[in-house]
Amino acid sequence: MVCSSGNFWNVAPWWARDGAARVSHRHPRRGIERGHPSAAGRGRLHCRLIAKEPALKKVPAGPARDDARVVEAIRNSPHGKVKVAVSDIDGVLRGKYLHKDKFLAAVEGGFGFCDVVFGWDSGDQCYDNTKLTGWHHGFPDALVRLDLATHRRVPWDGGVPFFLGHFVQADGSALPICPRQVLRRVLARAEKMGFRVMVGSEYEFFNFAETPKSWEAKQGVGPEPVTAGMFGYSLLRANANREYFNALMDELGAFGVPIEGLHTETGPGVYEAAIVFSEALEAADRAILFKAGAKEIGARFGIMPSFMAKWSAKYPGCSGHLHQSLSDGKKNLFFDPKGRHGGMSRLFESYLAGQVDALMGMAPMYWPTVNSYKRLVDGFWAPVKPTWGVDNRTASFRVLSGSPKSTRLETRSPGADMNPYLATAAVIAAGLHGVEKGLKLTAKPIHGTNEGSENVPRAPRTLIETTRAFRDSKVARDWFGDDFVDHFAATREWEWRQWLDAVTDWELKRYFEII
């Protein structure tokens, strides 16, 4: 489908934006900096939100001091509780409220969280084929470490403090099947290579006049979109639900998820949101919080947003595009004024070559559900081949070049149903695989509607096909580790078996009477 405007990246890069608002900072040894400069408007919203909090004592700058400021803010907060969350394997936020004292005690040592979040599917059905968690282990507590740099307040929940966390093992090392840790592992390797990765996410999602109760009563059939007709980029259709539309922009911005652009897309009740770019870990945090936040905000208006890849065969599907560039801390390394195709550096070409090379081996991280593959239909905007082009929205990889500020790669393959941590890890790992191996960009850019891609193999049509390729991918095992690859593949095999056992409405309509 149509993605956001061409100036998505055409703002001052993070290394040139002095004086911009920041939430917090992180030391390089602790991972990628969370406090990416945001728009001035977001700073105003944030200040307005925290105006009633007790004043903090002045503390010297630095990562340890930033953590101390956060702890002091929670200790002095009028709220008696704190909201915490982690990502499960499907990208669903799982969390709880902690008493303030419990939270403060967990700052140093972490807290226990049942490891079933990696042992069940999106419908809370427990896997029977995983090794690292499952019935055979008894679903014990695993240890969650809080990331104090993710501190936010939830504006639609009374300003309650909020934090994200990730899982560690007993010795403090990363739990290999934790999605946030998978991304952190990739970013640590990128940092050793001398790169800082910038990412921006876009989501398309349909919005329905439904509640959990009404949807249950309909038994999953016939959801009612909030508006009718196709109406892409329609101010008229946006105005039809302006309270909800404005709440998404304003409240998510106040939540530390600044939206660069929000508009209607081609389809009944469908919106597209472009989230302001940032360093990669923060970008994935923003993406997962955007999906969860949109659903919580929508519930207040009797609206149910859906990030399902393809809810109806009649309409285009929902994408989750990822924009990326690499920096050395001073400049955008993807840009070279003497480079080909409008200024692509050789590094950029190798990065793109890596993504083209590894796409099919990492496909379940972009297309994680049975439904994901219903989106991959010719003529419906979603790319179906590992192709690239210059500013070409029919390709899997869209190169945007021409200036140091805007040169980037848009990976258009992922659907809105992807886990943001895993999809972000996959695109970066694939690209850096190309850089490490010095891959040459031998594929030619396509023009128009896949013109020039006649001999390029099509993407597989099923989850089980891509899962088998993922299991066998040397690139995936190199970048993500055997434990994660084996676990994630097992969860996708489980997902496929659930589909095989299901009796669908299509089968009933086709065979019930006539056979």
pLDDT at 28: 35
- Tracing tokens 């953590």 back to the chain, one arrives at 67
| Backbone φ and ψ of 38, nearest 5° | -115, 175
State the Cα torsion 99-105-110-111 to the nearest 10°. Answer: -40
The strand pair at 196-208 and 335-340 is best described as unpaired
| Backbone φ and ψ of 327, nearest 5° | -130, 155
The strand pair at 111-114 and 141-154 is best described as antiparallel
pLDDT exceeds cutoff 50 at 53: no
Q: Is residue 44 part of a domain?
A: yes
* Residue 267: DSSP 8-state: S
Q: Is residue 153 part of a domain?
A: yes
Q: Is residue 156 part of a domain?
A: yes
pLDDT exceeds cutoff 50 at 171: yes
Q: Is residue 439 part of a domain?
A: no
Q: Is residue 362 part of a domain?
A: no
**5-40: pLDDT as tens digits:** 344 344 444 333 333 333 343 433 333 333 333 333
Q: Is residue 364 part of a domain?
A: no
**82-112: pLDDT as tens digits:** 999 999 999 999 999 999 999 999 999 999 9
**206-258: pLDDT as tens digits:** 999 999 999 999 999 999 999 999 999 999 999 999 999 999 999 999 999 99
pLDDT at 64: 62
Question: DSSP alpha helices (H): ranges in 157-301?
Answer: 179-192, 212-217, 235-240, 242-254, 280-300
Residue range of the domain that includes 74: 21-180
**245-268: pLDDT as tens digits:** 999 999 999 999 999 999 999 999
Residue 193 has a CB neighbour count (10 Å cut-off) of: 10
Q: Residue 465 and residue 444: Cα distance in Å, rounded?
A: 26
Look over the chain and give the mean of its residue pLDDT values, rounded to a whole number. 89
% residues pLDDT > 90 (the chain): 83
Q: Residue 206 and residue 265: Cα distance in Å, rounded?
A: 9
pLDDT at 59: 37
Mean predicted confidence (pLDDT) in 343-357: 98
pLDDT at 65: 67
Q: Residue 10 and residue 5: Cα distance in Å, rounded?
A: 10
Q: Is residue 95 part of a domain?
A: yes
β-partners of residue 225 are 208
Domain count, the chain: 1
Of 313, 328, 387, residue with least CA distance to 194 = 328
Which residues touch 48 (CB under 8 Å, ≥6 apart)? 254
| Backbone φ and ψ of 474, nearest 5° | -70, -35
SS3 content of the chain, % helix, strand, coil (to 5): 35, 20, 40
Which residues touch 292 (CB under 8 Å, ≥6 apart)? 85, 93
- Cβ-count burial of 508 within 10 angstroms (0-12 exposed, 13-18 middle, 19+ buried)? exposed
Contact indicator for 265, 204 with CB cutoff of 8 Å:
yes
Residue 405 has a CB neighbour count (10 Å cut-off) of: 16
Of 376, 321, 387, residue with least CA distance to 353 = 387
pLDDT exceeds cutoff 70 at 479: yes
**448-470: pLDDT as tens digits:** 766 678 889 999 999 999 999 99
pLDDT at 35: 36
Q: Residue 3 and residue 33: Cα distance in Å, rounded?
A: 27
Q: Residue 329 and residue 283: Cα distance in Å, rounded?
A: 17
Number of helical (H) and strand (E) elements in the chain, helices listed first? 14, 16
Which residues touch 120 (CB under 8 Å, ≥6 apart)? 88, 126, 127
SS3 323: strand
Q: pTM of this prediction?
A: 0.89
Q: Is residue 105 part of a domain?
A: yes
Q: What angle do CA 419, 421, 425 make, to 5 degrees?
A: 115
* Strand locations in 110-248 (E): 111-114, 141-154, 160-168, 196-208
pLDDT exceeds cutoff 70 at 132: yes
Domain CATH code at residue 100: 3.10.20.70
Q: Residue 482 and residue 480: Cα distance in Å, rounded?
A: 7
Contact indicator for 128, 22 with CB cutoff of 8 Å:
no
